[in-house]
Amino acid sequence: MERSNRRNRRRKPFFLFIIAGLFALGAVVMFLWNAILPDIAAVSALTYWQALGLLILSRILFGGFKCGPRRNRGPFAHPRFREKFMNMSREERINFRNEWKERFKR
């Protein structure tokens, strides 16, 4: 019981920090929008709440709400694909790589 209380005490400041950061980012978005875009693109200035809504909308549309470290894993990081690739013979691997190079060459 005592352990869970300690964890809850640690989590509360973390969530408050996240919320404060969100509100601070809203202010940054409002400042940058109002400082740059009205002169360049002939758009109207944003209020604080519009900037916060724009920030949340952009995260939903473009970034998602992923938490934790981002994993830059290779194309064969999934165990199923890794196992399949490892079970290929040398010739099959070479053919596979050449096919992918042809398919995605620039």
Q: What is the predicted pLDDT for the residue at 66? A: 63
* SS3 (DSSP) at 68: coil
83 phi-psi bin (left φ>0, alpha ψ -120 to 50, beta other): alpha
From first to last of its 106 residues, the chain has per-residue pLDDT tens of 455 566 566 667 788 888 898 899 999 999 999 999 998 988 999 999 999 999 889 888 887 666 655 565 666 667 787 788 888 899 998 998 898 888 887 6
What H or E segment, with its residue span, contains residue 34?
Answer: helix 2-41
Q: What is the predicted pLDDT for the residue at 44? A: 92
Radius of gyration, CA atoms only, the chain? 24
Q: What is the predicted pLDDT for the residue at 33? A: 92
